[in-house]
């Protein structure tokens, strides 16, 4: 029996892939059946190169690509260079998130006490970054005249709402709406666009926050049906499915991978 999660020779670009969830997505896609290789993006080159080497050590093809996804010109240059090295991008995973490469020191203030110069830390990477990368890969996907996949990692903050994260939640919700419209525009070309909404996940940043505070972790997990934090594998498994041939009739959807923190409607 053939592997239903075959990538059909598609080259994948994973943004923010130098650590955490993005790293595991890159490893999944780089080692998947039918993978054409993976472009490992991060704004820290050393991190991107380390993950690319992991992919290569496991037998896959990978190149590292340094770029801040909120920079439109830099994204276009990255996609052109990566496509020249591995071939046109057939899978885009918009994973880069949090507060981006240059977070404002005032992000922890109530948003109504700040302004766009602070909000841009979240909006730049979580919304404009998704738009920049998606716009950069679509022409190549169309030229390939072959199925393509676009997957954007959003947050349950955009579905549930989190006090103190209004701008972040709004940017993630905007990215999900953007994906739905992209799905309608590109479906006729066999290019799908979906989102994966995640909740508490064991990334380096989360581990640092919760380390040494088991009571805080216990209180947080009381809101979850499956009472453990998510693991990068949990998210990467869903992304691999959405990037594969198995998901060819799925588009415009948001898939929560969240331990039951919230339910899809």
**pLDDT (mean) for 151-172:** 92
Average pLDDT estimate for 198-223: 80
pLDDT for 66 equals 98
Question: If you average pLDDT over every residue of the chain, what do you get?
Answer: 94
Quote the pLDDT of residue 210: 67
pLDDT of residue 242: 98
Total residues belonging to the chain: 265
Predicted pLDDT of residue 1:
56
Tell me the pLDDT tens digit for each residue of 133-158.
999 999 999 999 999 999 999 999 89
Give residue 206's pLDDT.
72
For range 192-213, the mean pLDDT: 83
Instruction: Choose from 86-90, 160-164, 165-169, 204-208 the range with maximum mean pLDDT.
Output: 86-90
Q: Which residues of 108-147 are buried (b: 16+ CB within 10 A; e: fewer)?
A: eeebeebeeebbbbbbbbbbbbbbbbbebbbebbeebeeb
Read off the pLDDT of residues 104-118 as tens digits, 9 standing for 90 and up. 889 889 999 999 999
Class of domain 11-201+231-257 (CATH, top level): alpha beta
pLDDT at residue 209, rounded to an integer: 66
Instruction: Say which range, 44-48, 97-101, 141-145, has the weakest mean pLDDT.
Output: 97-101
Q: List phi, psi (to 5°) of 196.
A: -120, 120
pLDDT (0 to 100) of residue 256:
96
pLDDT at 22 over 80: yes
Above pLDDT 70, what percent of the chain? 98
Contacts of 239 (CB under 8 A, 6+ apart): 25, 28, 29, 93, 151, 153, 196
Any idea where the domains of the chain sit in the sequence? Answer: 11-201+231-257
Q: What is the pLDDT of residue 52?
A: 98
Q: Which residues are catalytic?
A: 168
The yes-or-no verdict on residue 195 having pLDDT over 60 is yes
- Kindly state the average pLDDT of the residues 60-65: 98
Determine the pLDDT at residue 69. 98
* R_g over Cα of the chain: 18
Range 21-35 average pLDDT: 98
In three-state secondary structure terms, 211 is coil
On the question of pLDDT at 211 being above 80, the answer is no
Q: Are strands 148-155 and 11-14 parallel, antiparallel or unpaired?
A: unpaired
Does pLDDT of 2 surpass 90? no
């Amino acid at each position: 029996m053939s592997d239903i999660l075959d990538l059909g020779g598609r080259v994948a670009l994973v943004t923010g892939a130098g650590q955490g969830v993005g790293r595991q997505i890159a490893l999944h896609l780089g080692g998947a059946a039918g993978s054409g290789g993976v472009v490992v993006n991060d704004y820290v080159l050393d991190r991107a190169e380390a993950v690319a080497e992991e992919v290569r050590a496991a037998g896959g093809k990978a190149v590292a690509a340094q770029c801040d996804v909120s920079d439109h010109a830099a994204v276009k240059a990255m996609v052109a260079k990566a496509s020249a090295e591995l071939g046109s991008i057939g899978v885009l995973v918009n994973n880069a998130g949090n507060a981006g490469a240059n977070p404002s020191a005032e992000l922890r203030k109530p948003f109504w006490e700040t302004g766009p110069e602070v909000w841009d830390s979240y909006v730049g990477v979580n919304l404009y970054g998704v738009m920049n990368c998606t716009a950069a890969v679509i022409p190549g996907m169309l030229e390939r005249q072959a199925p393509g996949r676009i997957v954007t990692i959003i947050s349950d903050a955009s579905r549930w709402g989190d006090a103190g994260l209004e701008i972040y939640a709004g940017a993630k919700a905007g990215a999900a709406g953007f994906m739905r419209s992209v799905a309608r525009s590109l479906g006729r070309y066999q290019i799908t666009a979906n989102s994966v909404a995640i909740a508490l996940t064991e990334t380096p940043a989360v581990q640092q926050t919760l380390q040494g505070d088991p009571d805080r972790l216990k209180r947080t997990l009381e809101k979850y049906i499956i009472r453990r934090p998510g693991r990068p594998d949990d998210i990467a498994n869903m992304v691999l499915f959405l990037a594969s041939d198995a998901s060819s009739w799925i588009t415009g959807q948001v898939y929560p991978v969240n331990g039951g923190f919230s339910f899809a409607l």
